[in-house]
Chain A
Amino acid sequence: MLDTALKVLGVLAAFLVLPLLVGQLEHKTMAHMQSRLGPMYAGGFHGWAQLVADGVKFVQKGEVVPAAVDRPVYRLAPAVALLPYLLVLVVVPVGAGRVASSLDLGLFFALAVTGIGVVGMLMAAWASANKYSLIGGLRGAAQLLAYELPLVLAAVSPAMAAGTLSLSGIVEAWKPWWLIWQAPAAVVFFIAGLAEIRRPPFDMPLAESELVFGYLTEYTGLRFALFILAEYAGIVVISALTTVLFLGGWRIPGLPDSLGPLWTLVKVGLLSFVVIWVRVSYPRLREDQLQRLAWLGLVPVALAQLVLTGVVAVAVA
């Protein structure tokens, strides 16, 4: 019982702290990549408390609910967008045997729950009764349909290689040469994951230069903050899943597994940096480019990777 409580607390702490760290990393990284300094005042030292200050600001803001919104759905949407990422963290192993809930179907669970986050976005878009929100929601739905497929196909590849759907099992079966063998799947998974959490350059559902702020147009205050938190939690989740599936999770050859959580955190941090790096470097894709990339680029690569994985797995066996 105590063990369970501790695990839940650990997951909750990671869920609340890691997105803030990623957000701060984004603030500073993006600033320096643009030859700026970013936040420098909040907290005194290089603006370390900027996101805390932002959170306080969001809480203080008034909650403006337009008259025409579908109230229950509108109010529920941020929770639906945020909670799936908390649930995914439950099954992500951070070390040998260190996982809040070891599911045999961990990968299946993670992918299924990640998809729910998109429902929160659709709820927000529809319930807002705003045309920009609706267009954003439609774009989000199209994006979900296009990218869920390569995401799942790419995730299947390491599961096939390892012969298990358990995330811990995949990490235990992982070998360094998989880095090359599974590289196409890793790239596809990462790109599709970026699209899944609607990060730039795949942020067409938000597209603040075209759609005001897409499905977040009518949101203010705390609920808006929850959506933003969901975005950063999504970065953590996608980075963590990529780490576990393709980068060996808590294992680094030559280094002790006892420090597993540290290696996991390092890998997640590096991948989060890449997410931010890509965001800074590339402009937003056009809607047709988005679909073209998914159907003509990622899906064929993911399918080819499946064939390769199957052939090599049989050959090795």
Chain B
Amino acid sequence: MNVPGSGLARGLAVTLRTMTRRAATRQYPDVPPDLPPRSRGVIALFEENCTVCMLCARECPDWCIYIDSHKETMPAREEGARARQRNVLDRFAIDFALCMYCGICIEACPFDALFWSPEFEYAEYDILELTHEKDRLREWMWTVPPPPAQDPLGEPAKEVLAAEKAAGKATDAPARPDRPARTERPVRTERPARTERPARVDSPARADRPTAADGAERPAKLDGPDRPAAPAVGAAEPVEPVEPGEPPAEPGGAGGGQ
């Protein structure tokens, strides 16, 4: 250690050793980068789920989301019922020159209409081109990766709990603590300890929205044009809950809005 010049020799050894190893360079334009999961590249819009509630635009710290809409009157669903109105989205634009990629809009969206996409190659020569209108935002939708698998040891998604709770109400199951219907599900039998637990009722407001809440259905897994038509439109109205536990087999079954 104290031999004169040993430090110099070690310096030479370090550079020589580094030379024999693979370079750390990623040849990006030639080789696509190896992005971590859930990279924040661009924000995608799943238009059918948007109810023009404006929450994203209000929560956006940069005010970079522009939404225009108009109201349409829907024909009455039943004889003698009142005609309903709904919002129709005219314009949804995100100015990515202003966006700071905080993701608050995605968190704020109650209807799963906004998603992170890992795509990042949308640089422009004109700053005005960075305002992506809803068609472009929709194109990003097809690049959204599927959500990560549920941690088998984690608590179930609150959408699932809410759906189960709603289902429990509908089938009028008085035996709340043990809930025999639940124990038959294969998912639950893997975790028998959980079946003893009473369902968490931390989000009672959501219990009546099973359609927007069925976490098993993700828009990204569907092909664009064949998507269910505006499932979230019906989500605002109370509908009869879907089968507890297992997601609806056909996507249209989740809608309930027709």
Most chain A CB inside 10 Å of its own CB: which residue of B14, B19, B21: B19
Contact with B along A276-289 (1 / 0, CB 8 A): 01101110000000
Question: Does B25 contact A33, Cβ atoms closer than 8 Å?
Answer: no
Which residues of A have CB within 8 Å of B21?
Answer: 35
Are B12's CB and A40's CB within 8 A?
A: no
Residue from B8, B16, B19 within 8 A of A282 (CB atoms)? B8
CA distance A100 to B155 in the complex (A): 85
Contact at A37–B11, with CB atoms within 8 Å? no
In the complex, A17 has a CB within 8 A of chain B: no
* Contact call A282/B18, Cβ cutoff below 8 A: no
| B27 close to A (CB within 8 Å) | yes
CB distance from A24 to the nearest CB of B (A): 15
Contact yes or no, B23 A36, CB < 8 A = yes
Q: Does B15 contact A (CB under 8 A)?
A: yes
B15 CB contact (under 8 Å) in A33, A36, A37, A40:
A33
Complex interface bits, B21-38 against A, C-beta within 8 A gives 1, otherwise 0: 101110100000000000
Nearest chain B CB to A278's CB is how many angstroms away? 8
**Contact across chains for B14 and A281 when beta carbons are under 8 A apart:** yes
Contact partners of A29 in chain B: CB under 8 A: 19
B12 adjacent to A281 (CB under 8 Å): yes
Q: In this assembly, does A34 line the interface, its C-beta being within 8 Å of a C-beta of chain B? A: yes
Contact of A33 among B8, B16, B24, B27 (CB under 8 A): B16
**On chain A, which size bracket covers the interface?**
10 to 19
Q: Which residues of A contact B15 (CB under 8 A)?
A: 33, 277, 280-281
- Distance of A253 Cα from B14 Cα, bound (Å): 32
Contacting residues of chain B (168-182) with chain A, CB-CB under 8 angstroms? none
B16: A residues at CB distance < 8 A: 33, 277
A32 at the interface (CB under 8 A from B): yes
Asked if A32 and B11 sit within 8 Å, CB to CB, the answer is no
Query: Within the complex, what minimum Cβ distance (angstroms) separates B12 from chain A?
Result: 5
0/1 interface trace, chain A 13-45, chain B, CB 8 Å (1 if under): 000000000000000010111111100100000
**Bound complex: CA A1 to CA B23 (Å):** 51
A282 to B8, CA, bound (A): 8
Contact in complex: A31, B11 (CB < 8 Å): no
The residue on B at minimum CB distance from A29 is B19
Q: List chain B residues, Cβ under 8 A from A278.
A: 12
1/0 per residue, CB under 8 A from A, across B234-258: the answer is 0000000000000000000000000
Q: Cα distance A36–B12 when bound, in Å?
A: 17
Instruction: Give A32 to B15 CA distance when docked, in angstroms.
Output: 9
The distance in angstroms between the C-alpha atoms of A32 and B20, with both chains bound, is 8
Residues of A within 8 A of B14 (CB): 281
In the docked arrangement, what's the CA distance between A74 and B120, Å?
A: 50
- Please, which residue of chain B has its CB at the minimum distance from the CB of A278? B12
How far is B23's CA from A33's CA once the two chains are assembled, in angstroms?
9
CB <8 Å contact, B23 and A40: no
- The answer on a CB contact under 8 Å between A31 and B8 is no
Of B8, B14, B24, B25, most A-chain CB atoms within 10 Å = B25
Give min CB distance, A40 to chain B, whole Å: 7
Can you name the residue of chain A whose Cβ is closest to the Cβ of B12? A281
Q: Which A residues are closer than 8 A to B by beta carbons?
A: 29, 31-37, 40, 277-278, 280-282
8 A-B pairs whose Cβ atoms sit less than 8 Å apart in the complex: A33-B16, A33-B18, A33-B19, A35-B18, A35-B21, A36-B24, A278-B12, A281-B15
- Ranked 10 nearest A-B pairs via Cβ: A33-B15, A281-B11, A37-B25, A35-B24, A32-B19, A33-B19, A281-B15, A37-B23, A280-B15, A281-B12
Q: What 13 additional pairs, Cβ within 8 angstroms, besides A278-B12, A282-B11?
A: A32-B23, A33-B15, A33-B19, A35-B21, A35-B23, A35-B24, A36-B25, A37-B25, A37-B27, A40-B27, A277-B12, A277-B16, A282-B8
